[in-house]
Amino acid sequence: MLRSVPSPTEDRPKRTFPELVTAIYEDPRVGHESRELLLAVAYAVDLAKREEGVSPLKVARIKLGAAPGRRARYDRLVANDAPRYELPYAAQERTRACEAPRLRPYQPRPYTPRQPPELPAPTPLRPLPPTIVHVPPGYTPPRDWRTEDGVCGATSQHSVTEKAPRTGWVTVHWFCRRHQDHADRVAEQVRAQNEQAPDPIPNTGGLLPCYFKADWERVYKHYRPHWTPPRYGLSADDWPVVDDTALRPTRHSRLRVLTGAGHNLQEHAGDHA
């Protein structure tokens, strides 16, 4: 069974368990599922410091539990915390509107009632409340080609990927079947830029290494077999800042955790790093 003993971080002050919990709640990068995982691991590490022989990650896995016949919640949360770059929602959606110039000006057609004129007018209904639409994070609505001049707006069939020169993040441009030649021109324009773009900066995961010292690369590979470590590091604290408005807390101390790479992980905890 693989086992690792991480070295302590000497240049960071030690934190008590309440201070660590406060930092997790105040971290703007932590979502509700990531917070649940971080708090479970923090509780298990603190318990291991008070009771000798307690395996922190094993305790966290038991506390998070699993529904009968389904994957353990702990396994899924750790796999989701693996640092990686995820494509934006617009790059995965297949019904985006074509953004090429329109072939002819758009002229809205007046609405014609379908009911015969001899029927009485329908009874007016009270106004309905506004519709609430739930979308994933990072979703941007498609362009409304009826209100934007010069946009085709037809259902897309072809896509062109553009990579940002600083971050390597992907922007996808969509074009319909009638604008295949326009898509080819755009693809040729961004070809050199895409070849010189760096590896994409991770935008997902990397929170466990921010708070706990352990061989997280082995842990991530165990719960996400096809995952590869990003060259920017495992901790989200080490990733480059994308823009001036990015929310980045100051670097903080981590609790030390010993991890294993088997199905029944045997982990132990050390002192605050």
Closest CA to 253 of 5, 92, 79, 22: 22
Burial class from Cβ neighbours inside 10 Å (0-12, 13-18, 19+) for residue 101 reads exposed
Q: What confidence tens digit (pLDDT) does each residue in 19-70 have? A: 889 999 999 999 999 999 999 999 988 888 777 777 888 888 888 876 555 5
**Could you tell me the pTM of the whole model?**
0.68
Q: For residue 243, is pLDDT > 70?
A: no
CB 46 within 8 A of CB 19: no
Annotated domain spans of the chain: 17-85+203-272, 86-103+142-200
Cα distances (angstroms) measured from residue 92 to each of 139, 180, 240: 11, 20, 25
What would the DSSP string read from start to end of 148-176? STTB--PBP-EEEEEE-TTT--EEEEEE-
pLDDT in tens, 88-99: 876 767 667 888
Half-sphere exposure of 3 (CA within 13 A, CB side): 8
| 237-257 average pLDDT score | 61
Could you read off the pLDDT of 74-89 as tens digits, one per residue? Answer: 899 999 999 999 988 7
First to last CA, the chain: 24
Contacts of 93 (CB under 8 A, 6+ apart): none
What residues does 160 pair with on adjacent strands? 173
Where does the pLDDT of residue 264 fall: very low under 50, low under 70, confident under 90, or very high at 90 and above?
very low
Amino acid identity of residue 152, one-letter, is C
Q: Give the separation between CA 261 and CA 220, rounded to whole angstroms.
A: 9
Give the span between the Cα atoms of 70 and 231, in whole angstroms.
33
